[in-house]
Chain A
Amino acid sequence: GAGVSQTPSNKVTEKGKYVELRCDPISGHTALYWYRQSLGQGPEFLIYFQGTGAADDSGLPNDRFFAVRPEGSVSTLKIQRTERGDSAVYLCASSLDGFGKNIQYFGAGTRLSVL
């Protein structure tokens, strides 16, 4: 595809529910990143995949958050037992290989609202 695609663009859920957010990176990009952007803040790093493996998950806030990338392309961010504080825009980015010049290309994000 031409760019990073994220679905859904908006997700409204109730407190306590489980949600999955999907990211389809730029074709050929081996590095994939998830970020969370709260109102008035810059994007905050969550997790980084190099191929199929999570190279760095130090940004995940707690064990309710989990992400997978089983075939090294599409990734899913999973949030269990959602809380109102999880409401934010979740951004996905990809880069060619994550080494050297780390130019990351972002999708439009998924706006998650937990009621």
Chain B
Amino acid sequence: QSVLTQPPSVSGAPGQRVTISCTGSTSNIGAGYDVHWYQQLPGAAPKLLIYNNTNRPSGVPDRFSGSKSGTSASLVLTGLQADDEADYYCQSYDISLSGQGVFGGGTKLTVL
């Protein structure tokens, strides 16, 4: 059971927009800690996609965007492409349990 909750799967057709949610609590996202997002292609290590809620590392297309509000965060993908098909994970920090990093359980994006 992951501390951050994500939908197990989302899907969309090429060119469409999809949103992946990440729900936490008052001991992590709701306490003001930043949310980061990763993309994991099959057989590969996760790759940083969004940091500090809304920022894209260089090289990440502006089709990917992030936001945060209250105890939740969202990753939005617009103009879906076939190679966006991957697992997506959110990550933050939790002040309970002596403070530790926490991840979501992941969302599998299928491009129809």
| Same assembly | no
**Residues of B near any A CB (own CB < 8 A):** none
